[in-house]
Amino acid sequence: MGQTVFIPRELDANEPRVAASPDTVKRLAGLGFDVIVEGGAGTASRIPDEEFAKAGAVIGKSGDVAKADVVLKVRRPDGAELKAYRPGTAVIAIMDPYGNDAAVDALARAGVTAFSMEFMPRITRAQSMDVLSSQANLAGYQAVIDAAAEYDRALPMMMTAAGTVPAAKAFIMGVGVAGLQAIATARRLGAVVTATDVRPAAKEQVASLGAKFLAVEDEEFKAAETAGGYAKEMSREYQAKQAALTAEHIAKQDIVITTALIPGRPAPKLVSTAMVASMKPGSVIVDLAVERGGNVEGAVPGQVVTTANGVKIVGHLNVPGRVAASASLLYARNLFAFLETLVDKTTKTLAINRDDELVKATMLTDGGQVVHPAFAGKPAVMIASAAPAKPAAAKKPALPKKAAASKKAATPKSPANKSKGIA
């Protein structure tokens, strides 16, 4: 009998995605794994149990996680779930560790080897594993769809015998993966699109999609990008100038979509109450950063708020999950691509190479300790268990001596800081 991969049903009521697809189940079996999918895990993503079974999975129950060598999830397991995990189990998910120290410590105390997929380095080898890009791409698309649903007018210009309907004006704030997809989608729907970002390179990207770039292009702006292509934090003076330009522009827009996130920090406020008040009745703002405090003053997580002047502020949670059927397929492929690198192709068993750059960048906990350089420092006491540790976690290395020196390389380069966007 081979090693076992378990795919649970997500317990969060706001999480419809699943960490596997029929395609990845077949691929996992090809790697030598026995695959167990918890019953109903894919229902909200339009993948019935029968499809997983046809692909070679066994449909099981939540308690089957105790058999697992590898657990593939969308969201980080909570304390109640971890009680059923055996020490040494490799857990691969979007761990969301920033600001969740207690949850990270719980992973360490459970003795699991946890990998945080959002820390995947942006290198050529890892492109197929980049969950932030795959999910943000869909978030940018869905943001435009949500805006169009709330906007009670047509987006494209329409010339009819009865007269001309003007095109909607859409403004995208943050040109990361989400922002670029939002630009492309809004353009496809016929809107007149402008966009802003602090990276000079974004100007060319915006233009290539047929949109107009808006920014204060002074000397500071020209030096606002690191050698690696990531955005630098701008001075207060620059932010004030950019805010003034943005405020004037927002007053003329029908749709505004904000995507700005900074890893480990609250989302920066980009749209003030005064800016919202300057917009026309019926205008729509979609805040993709609402789960991190929001870019828009007045945005409420999980709600669509209508202001006194008739502007709708959309604050949907888990926007990629609003297109779960598509998001799950991409996310599952991301997970498989990463897990494949952890498998010995000769023995067809899990063989984690802790010196591998992908492992170093993503491993959050291991052997009862928090080992990621960005979070390490407080050893956790491992939860007592009669179950033996897994072969994959037989080694319990301490944090490498050179961790401090390699921190820069290992620190997660979230797409959020690449363009001050969601990805």
Catalytic residue among 133, 135, 283, 369: 133
Residue 145: is it exposed, middle or buried by C-beta count within 10 angstroms (0-12/13-18/19+)?
middle
CA distance linking residue 248 with residue 373, whole number of Å: 43
Catalytic residue among 12, 125, 127, 356: 127
In the chain the first and final C-alpha atoms are separated, in Å, by 40
141 is catalytic: no
Q: Note the Cα 325 to chain centre separation in Å.
A: 16
Catalytic residue among 230, 242, 326, 331: 230
Pairing between β-strand 349-350 and β-strand 343-344 as defined by DSSP bridges? antiparallel
Cα–Cα distances (Å) from 270 to 70, 145, 240, 273, 317, in that order, read 41, 22, 11, 10, 19
Q: Which of 107, 102, 71, 77 is nearest to 15 (CA)?
A: 77
Catalytic residue among 86, 109, 122, 322: 122
133 is catalytic: yes
287 is catalytic: no
Cα–Cα distances (Å) from 203 to 151, 409, 420, in that order, read 27, 27, 13
Catalytic residue among 34, 64, 130, 366: 130
CA distance linking residue 401 with residue 404, whole number of Å: 7
3 is catalytic: no
Find the length of the chain: 423
127 is catalytic: yes
Q: Which of 330, 293, 285, 357 is nearest to 74 (CA)?
A: 330
**Catalytic annotation, residues:** 122, 127, 130, 133, 230
